[in-house]
Structure 1
């Protein structure tokens, strides 16, 4: 894609788009929530559906001319049902956070109680942080991972639920490297008469491929993102049983949103269709294998991993033991300088701040999309080590940057 049509009317934007395309080609994307969608998904998201208003749902729109919009949305819904085995699916949320907001709107009143994983222990802003809408509208209490093991303590969660009597328990994460026992959290919710919302934003693809246990059919509501490990159009999704279908649909529209972004829905439909191909299961399995290899490489090089490893697509490194004077922000900045893009991240028992945390989070979905396997992930772990061990050493940076470019060239993106 040359962006010639953009350039003809807006050269600065065309330059920025072209530069971003080149940046993605020439760097290793290791932010755990990022991936590279196919060019088919990109095309669907840039389609003429950008022009179409389609308030409402298929067959019940508030505008005319929606026959093809209906067809696309119905395809996205049916493919999602096939992927995750859900009774009811809403593909209109603009993001995973919007999906979470819709669930809250459907079953909670302002001031109701939420019990969720603390942000510094791997949770998400939309689970109830005080700077987010959820923390402002609802009474939020958090559970944490065990300080020693870095893992969820389900008995502790159940006790906290009994103590706080929440209206909804939120499970799921943005930085937790282990599988979640959805049934244990559902039991805790049932015991106090609470709803259970499982947020699988990071692991939608892993769940679809059977690489992570599914909460569908266990939790009352399952929300997620559609652009992370599932590699579909950017946005959100909600899944639930038929008994909650009307409440969820009404919460999304007209409760939360007006017209859906139909071009995004088209991207979701295409990406879901790609994920139904058996090759996607092989991809998801490789994502998990690659994360495991990366984690082992980092541990062999002296880094400490939260929970001691990973079951998923990400590793969470606690720098305080191996590099006590290096912050996550220091590491993130240095690694980006050599073309490795990940993020500084809080860790359980955080002693710094979210803006200057003690850990780094690294994910494997995007590198796996590029074709990276065990050997490349071992190399990436060694490259990360060389940079963090030698902060500020320009010679090391130059050597690592050259190896990063070789890896990028060997695994081209968007040729």
Structure 2
């Protein structure tokens, strides 16, 4: 198989955009601009990654032209025989890769995968126990602006103030008090391992379904770098574009007993025709994730995250939960004298891409935040190493502390250009 490094650097180059420039020069200019932005920046946004040329080829293929409502062998339109084979291949690869009994590749996003799971297991008004967004939970875990908070009675759990880790005693107490029909775990901003067995035990104690949102870690699970939730969860939702390195989208893994309910919740309840170019691209990514190279990649992601965390901590920044077990690092800017939004902007001016974030027990609004969330998925795909992560940490600290952005941007570009993403 093509190496990770060459698979990325052999991707599309500006010369391949000639047809687009002739047809639509304004969009071509924007594409060139994005290409240039990415090439000269360090990608540390925790929820982003780079796909392989094979995945991008399928995304831009004629598979996107076909209307294919339904599932393989049960379509509402004719002429789907090759699409059926592509989707069935992807479902088989997902089941084998994760050890799941059933897989659905049609959700357009991780949020829609969660909505489908809620629709399959609950009715509006049911009680859900999930991690509060202010402690690291995703907005589909009870945000008042999201379906999870509008249509369901969501009770939130958090982390201990002492060590900023999930408080399983609180989860058990809340479950016993509120008797939820569904318990959810799988935060979007939590850096430590999750005890899936403990959640399963609590769910069984109160007769609840157990859902794991593995959007952030699905690829690390596939690469055998992190424990799998599959043996414990009734349903696991994932995104295909973060650690799994596939196209933007979602997928759902579940037990055989829930397969019909999950499939019916995706179609026809939630979505119409799937984006078959996207479904087939997910199949390609799942095939790539089964390769031995991907196991190395997943382990390198964790190694790089640990190095990035050590570099930031050595420079005097406090890490939430005292470090990381996954690809993410959460930095507390309390002693730096600036907000997360200010730090994000300073880093962006220097060409370092990361995200402002609220922290547990934060007193600031989400649009300001007291911290930063960083991740090593994309940088590792590019080929960056532990030594590069220590360099990146140094550049981040210089940006936060107000170094000259012009000189800093030159140093950032020098590092980024050693590892071309396209």
Q: TM-score range by the shorter chain?
A: over 0.9
Number of corresponding residues: 408
SS in structure 1 at match of 2:417: helix
TM-score by length of 1: 0.97
Within 5 Å, give how 1:198-347 maps onto structure 2: 198-320=212-334, 322-323=335-336, 325-347=337-359
Report which stretch shifted further, 96-105 or 6-15. 6-15
Residue matched to 1:154: 168
SS in structure 2 at match of 1:3: helix
- CA contact 1:234–1:267 (8 Å) conserved in 2: no
> CA shift at 1:8, angstroms?
2.2
Within 5 Å, give how 1:13-52 maps onto structure 2: 13-52=27-66
Report which stretch shifted further, 202-211 or 397-406. 397-406
> CA shift at 1:299, angstroms?
0.6
Within 5 Å, give how 1:135-146 maps onto structure 2: 135-146=149-160
- CA contact 1:233–1:266 (8 Å) conserved in 2: no
Report which stretch shifted further, 88-97 or 150-159. 150-159
Within 5 Å, give how 1:180-191 maps onto structure 2: 180-191=194-205
Residue matched to 2:367: 355
Q: Does 1:384 align with 2:392?
A: no
> CA shift at 1:25, angstroms?
1.3
Residue matched to 1:129: 143
> CA shift at 1:398, angstroms?
2.1
Residue matched to 1:398: 406
Deviations 1:95-151 (A, max 9, x none): 111110001101101111111111111110112210111111111110001112011
RMSD of aligned Cα (Å): 0.9
Residue matched to 1:410: 418
CA distance in 2, matches of 1:35, 1:400: 24
CA distance in 1, matches of 2:163, 2:407: 36
> CA shift at 1:399, angstroms?
2.3
TM-score by length of 2: 0.95
Runs of 4+ in 1 over 3 A off after TM superposition: none
Listed as ranges, the gaps of 5+ residues in structure 1 are none
CA distance in 1, matches of 2:312, 2:212: 30
SS in structure 2 at match of 1:315: strand
Q: Does 1:68 align with 2:82?
A: yes
CA distance in 2, matches of 1:3, 1:111: 51
